Amino acid sequence: MKLKVFLPLALSVTALLLSPSCKKEIPNMDAYVYGKVYNQNSSDPAVGTLVLLRGLKMGEYAVNKPILDSAFVNELGEYHLSYQTEEEMSLYDLDIIGPNHIQSNMIHPSGGQISIHPGSVRELDLHIVPICWLRIHSVRTSDANSLYINSMTNGYGLFIDEPIAINYMESRGNELVDIPCFRDYSTTYIPFQVQVQTPTHDTVDVRIEW
């Protein structure tokens, strides 16, 4: 008799626990970042560059920011990134790497750091500095011993002591560049600048008299 009384009750409790209405709903935690990547100071898409979304957990060192997602820029200049934000990061960064661009030299409104929240969608257009090349025609017109030109891309500088010479040097592209030069007079260095409008992924001739 007791079995007949309690068996329907047990079955009812089991059915209630398995009911879909009692399952815990998991919210959509995906965050999205998308936009376009251009060469700086232009509307030309930076095709083939790689966009990285990095995150930093609370208490971690900034040098150890893991990559959360990455995407290559397509022929239209577009990129799309997503991240499932179950574990909230304290800081998010966007980095761009390009085969003919200055790495980690990115220009966009957020200055590198972006805000991401569960379910958020961010549209963010980015700009990256392209590389160009300077064909430097140097001519000695003074009694200086040598000419030194500082690097403009975190590379090596250029030392010239020949009266007339032609050298090549990497530079930031698509901007008005002030080339930092120094005349060496043994006991002192006299700084001066030569200004040039640089192209994107091309070579420009520059005459420097020292």
Which CATH number covers residue 176? 2.60.40
CA distance 100 to 10: 70
Task: Tell me whether residue 5 is exposed, middle or buried, using C-beta atoms within 10 angstroms of its C-beta: 0 to 12, 13 to 18, 19 or more.
Answer: exposed
Same domain, 116 and 179: no
Per-residue model confidence (pLDDT) at position 2: 44
Q: Percent of the chain, pLDDT > 70?
A: 71
Do 89 and 107 have their domain in common?
A: yes
Q: Which of 72, 92, 124 is the last residue of a domain?
A: 124
Residue 77 within any structural domain of the chain: yes
Report which of residues 16 and 88 the model is more confident about. 88
- End-of-domain residue from the set 92, 124, 156: 124
The domain of 196 spans 131-209
For residue 54, tell me if it sits in a domain: yes
For residue 93, which of 119, 66, 72 has the smallest C-alpha distance?
66
Is the residue at 173 inside a domain? yes
For the chain, the first-to-last Cα distance in angstroms comes to 111
d(CA 171, CA 131): 6
Task: Supply the pTM of this predicted model.
Answer: 0.69
Residue 124: predicted pLDDT: 87
Task: State whether 47 and 118 are in the same domain.
Answer: yes
Does 23 fall in a domain?
Answer: no
User: 177 vs 129, 139, 182, CA distance in Å?
Assistant: 12, 20, 16
Average pLDDT, the chain: 79
Identify whether 6 is part of a domain: no
Residue 187 inside a domain? The answer is yes
Residue 9, SS3 per DSSP: helix
Q: Specify the pLDDT at position 186.
A: 86
Shared domain check, 198 and 147: yes
> Is the domain of 86 the same as that of 49?
yes
Query: Looking at the 3D structure of the chain, how many domains does it have?
Result: 2
Sequence-distant (6+) residues with CB within 8 A of 40 are 107, 127, 128, 129, 130, 173, 174, 175
Q: How far apart are CA 41 and CA 172, in angstroms?
A: 12
Residue 113 and residue 41 share a domain:
yes
Based on the fold, state whether residues 157 and 114 are members of the same structural domain: no
pLDDT at 88 over 70: no
Token output for 18: 């398995």
Q: How far does CA 102 lie from the centroid of its chain?
A: 9
- pLDDT mean over 25-48: 80
- 117 and 171 fall within a common domain: no
Asked whether residue 200 falls in the same domain as residue 147, the answer is yes
Please give the structure tokens belonging to residue 155.
Answer: 């590379």
Q: Are residues 138 and 89 in the same domain?
A: no
Q: Please report, rounded to a whole number, the percentage of residues in the chain having pLDDT higher than 90.
A: 44
Indicate the DSSP class of residue 45: B
- Check pLDDT > 50 for residue 11: no
* 78 is a domain residue: yes
**56 lies in the same domain as 117:** yes
In a domain, 195, yes or no: yes
Residues 136 and 118 in one domain: no
- Supply angle C-alpha 97, 100, 106, rounded to 5: 45
Residue 123 pLDDT > 50, yes or no? yes
Boundary (domain end) residue, out of 124, 156, 188: 124
pLDDT band at 181 (very low <50, low <70, confident <90, very high): very high
- Residue 60's pLDDT band, with cuts at 50, 70 and 90, is low
